[in-house]
Amino acid sequence: MLDLERLRALHSVATYGSVSAAADVLHVTTSAVSQQLAKLERETGQKLLERNGRGVRLTDAAELLVAHAERILSLVEQAQADLEAHRGSVVGQLTLAAFPTAARGLVPGALRRLRADHPDLHVLLREEDPLQSMPRVLRGDLDMAVVQDWNNEPLPLPDGLQKTPICEDVADVALSADHPLAGRDAVDLKELAGDPWISSSPDSICCDWLLRTLRAIDSEPRIVHMAYEFATQLALVGAGLGNAILPRMGRCDVPPGVVVVPLSAPLYRRIYAVWREKAARRPAIRAVLTALPASPSTPGRQA
């Protein structure tokens, strides 16, 4: 009889490319993963891993077993979801990822409501950009994720995932107080063509979006600084080092020397929750969806 956890360990090594990466995802030590694989080799009577330089590679037998493991793990997940749905209880553990401003502006209230309404449900929050969290939901490393896209650039939904909208979040432009357009009630993005910009880190969905949005108005982006946190971006704007486009949800206090001005052609992002279709019947998924909807805060214009 093949052990499920050993199949999961092999599947994780195949998915992430190394024993150490699999251990990180499974939240165990590399030694624990190696022991599981060694036991699986004894169970099957087949060699599953071979040395490949400083790493390992899967043997043909392992590749065959991984294909079966993927189907087996999928069926187990569906069975667990069906059992939870039959029981109707909101119990167990659920891993939820959210991008930083949603983790600050939306999720804490939802977690508070879930703790009060469903004390036997334990939600583990992870802060991750949608470019990282959506593939992890699809693979089954996460149960759900709060993700975003923009009104001028929809986010493709991979096969096997479902989504539901949570809210919309308007973005404004942050300018230094001495910027020529800082006194305006609204600005057109084209009026800022050629300006220096401050963006989030290059591996984030917001950075990719800003680059494409500026290029769409025939303005080759001049990104002069990158910072993941909005507070850091605003500090750089206040120092006169560039502009930033900042959504309102989860925005920190605007520091002195910064003016936040609406855009005349509004840009806004749409916030979604996503989860695997096979897990859709889980009462825990439905409980989180009920707890999440909220309206983002809308800070006033400050200088």
What percent of the chain lies above the pLDDT cut of 90?
Answer: 39
52 and 179 together in one domain: no
Q: What is the mean pLDDT of residues 284-292?
A: 92
- Which pLDDT score is estimated for 272? 93
Q: Is residue 243 part of a domain?
A: yes
In a domain, 299, yes or no: no
Within this chain, do residues 255 and 204 fall inside the same structural domain, yes or no?
yes
Q: Do both 14 and 104 map to the same domain?
A: no
143 pLDDT tier (thresholds 50, 70, 90):
very high
Q: Is residue 303 part of a domain?
A: no
152 and 137 belong to one structural domain: yes
Full-model pTM: 0.68
Whether 23 is covered by a domain: the verdict is: yes
**Is the domain of 163 the same as that of 274?**
yes
Residue 128 pLDDT grade (very low, low, confident, very high; cuts 50, 70, 90): very high
pLDDT of res. 81: 66
Question: What does the pLDDT read at residue 156?
Answer: 84
For residue 301, tell me if it sits in a domain: no
Residue 98 confidence class, pLDDT cut points 50, 70, 90: very high
Where is the domain boundary, 58, 85, 112? Answer: 85
Q: In this structure, is residue 298 part of a structural domain? A: no
- pLDDT tens digit string along 14-45? 877 788 888 877 778 888 888 888 888 888 88
Domain end among 48, 65, 85: 85
Q: Is the pLDDT of residue 200 over 60?
A: yes
Assess whether 16 and 73 both reside in one domain. Answer: yes
For position 161, what pLDDT does the model report?
92
* 126 and 211, same domain (yes or no): no
- Give the pLDDT band (50/70/90) at residue 87: low
- Same-domain check for residues 29 and 151: no
Q: Domain span at residue 44?
A: 4-85
Q: How many domains does the chain have?
A: 3
Q: Which of 65-79, 101-115, 224-238 has the lowest mean pLDDT?
A: 65-79
Both 67 and 215 in one domain: the answer is no
Look at residue 114 and tell me if it is in a domain: yes
- Do residues 251 and 216 both lie within one domain? yes
Same-domain pairing of 191 and 44: no
- The enclosing domain of 123 has a CATH number of 3.40.190.10
The model's pLDDT over 64-86, given as tens digits with 9 standing for 90+, comes to: 888 887 777 777 777 766 666 65
Domain boundary among 53, 70, 85: 85
The reported pLDDT for the residue numbered 198 is 95
Q: Is residue 121 part of a domain?
A: yes
Label each residue of 162-198 as H, E or C: EEEEEEEEEEEEEEECCCCCCCCCCECHHHHCCCEEE
Query: Does residue 281 share a domain with residue 137?
Result: yes
